[in-house]
Amino acid sequence: DMGGHDTYMHKEIAEQAEAVDRVLRGRIDDRFATVHLGGLNLEPGEARRVRRIKILGCGTSYHAGQIGAQLIEELARIPSDAEPASEFRYRNPVVDPDTLYVAVSQSGETYDVLAAVQELKRKGARVLGVVNVVGSAIAREADGGTYVHAGPEVCVVSTKCFTNTVVAFALLALHLGRIRDLSVSDGKRIIEGLRRLPGQIDEILKTEPEIKKLAREYADAKSMLFIGRVRGYPVAREASLKLKEVSYIHAEAYPASELKHGPLALIEPAMPTVAIVPDDDLLEKNRAALEEIKARSGRILAVAHQVQEKADHTIVVPKNEDELDPILMGIPLQLFAYHTALALGRDIDKPRNLAKSVTVE
Ligand code: F6R
């Protein structure tokens, strides 16, 4: 049942405020400025002894894990990174007893992730799951974890589950942070930011008519560049994947700081750039990147907290706490991918060559 929407993708994008509300519900502890995650199975003493966190996933879940790693590093100050589960399992990784492994998967059935979890468990590692489908294979194999509560996702391309997974990582990061060195006031600040998310998501969704117009303007591109820096970089990667999957337009994501090391050679009017420009301590750096692109006659679509003069168009999104901004900045670009695909007449819910869950090697 699409509930009045023409595709599941559109329905699932539209459901995100509700979905985020669901992942927050019943978990916030205002008294201690933290969150409770029932199934984590990680005692405070154990959480304090974790020296590293390695997040494993594929595709969109891997991108959510990249934002998750940044959130954990920022809020809990635990060195963290994300890696595609398939790469991890084929490179004979060093499995370290002080590392906490986190497997992330919407379906909970992705074979590469499951195989990585099984290999880690065989070697005695502690593995948590951040999973959407309750009782799925990865949820059962993991030592504990948290459900993402996005609800069923039918469209082959992931949207609401991406957003909810990132929010679930923000909860995990806050939880670990408050067991370690995150202050009460920072804990409160993050909680207030989390509570603002559903309302801000609805605000973004209201700008759909404007995004639809922009999507039509850019739909003739053969290729697009997506750039971001630090918090904006995984947002750019996910937005680029979304555009490729549903519109079949080639898109490539790059850290904005790497432009001058090669991709600037691509810039010309026929190669538009989508730039993630949050209003944080890197704003001036990001503006400088826009200037470099403009100087080479590149078209720029910015996703930012204020109108960017160097950009041809800006999609303005509401500001949250710096750490939580990536959760919101990807949402208009889901709509952008959707409307680009619609303008090109693509099979949005079932893009060619793709399956919802990849249970083979
Ligand atoms: C992209 C997409 C895929 C999945 C990937 C992992 O829109 O849906 O990239 O994210 O196949 O799937 P899960 O999260 O089920 O493990």
Name the residue of 66, 107, 353 to mutate for ligand 1: max ligand atoms within 8 A of Cβ.
Answer: 107
Is residue 165 within 6 Å of ligand 1 at its C-beta? Answer: no
The three-point CA angle 246-305-30 to 5° equals 95
What confidence tens digit (pLDDT) does each residue in 58-104 have? Answer: 999 999 999 999 999 999 999 999 999 999 999 999 999 999 999 99
Residue 9 has phi, psi (to 5 degrees) of -60, -45
Is residue 245 within 6 Å of ligand 1 at its C-beta? Answer: yes
Q: Which amino acid is at 266?
A: L
From CA 124, how far away is CA 322, in angstroms rounded?
36
- Positions in the chain whose pLDDT score sits under 70: none
Task: Give the closest residue to 333 by CA, choosing from 4, 16, 1.
Answer: 16
Whole-number pLDDT of residue 316: 98
Whole-number pLDDT of residue 355: 84
28-29 and 34-35 as β-strands: parallel, antiparallel, unpaired? antiparallel
Is residue 60 within 6 Å of ligand 1 at its C-beta? Answer: yes
State yes or no: is 310 an active-site residue.
no
- The catalytic residue among 212, 294, 350, 356 is 356
CA distances from 334 to 12, 161, 204, 253, 303 (A): 10, 12, 11, 15, 12
Q: Which residue's C-alpha comes closest to atom 5 of ligand 1?
A: 59
Whole-number pLDDT of residue 229: 97
Whole-number pLDDT of residue 323: 98
Whole-number pLDDT of residue 358: 82
The Å distance, Cα 218 to ligand 1 centre, comes to: 26
Q: Is 67 exposed, middle or buried (0-12, 13-18, 19+ CB in 10 A)?
A: buried
The Å distance, Cα 348 to ligand 1 centre, comes to: 15
Q: Which residue's C-alpha comes closest to atom 7 of ligand 1?
A: 157
Is residue 158 within 6 Å of ligand 1 at its C-beta? Answer: yes
Whole-number pLDDT of residue 361: 80
Nearest-atom index, ligand 1, CA of 133: 15
Name the residue of 7, 55, 60 to mutate for ligand 1: max ligand atoms within 8 A of Cβ.
Answer: 60
Nearest-atom index, ligand 1, CA of 113: 16
The Å distance, Cα 161 to ligand 1 centre, comes to: 9
273-277 and 300-304 as β-strands: parallel, antiparallel, unpaired? parallel
The Å distance, Cα 3 to ligand 1 centre, comes to: 24
The Å distance, Cα 91 to ligand 1 centre, comes to: 21
The helix or strand, by DSSP H or E, that contains position 316, with its residue range, turns out to be: strand 313-316
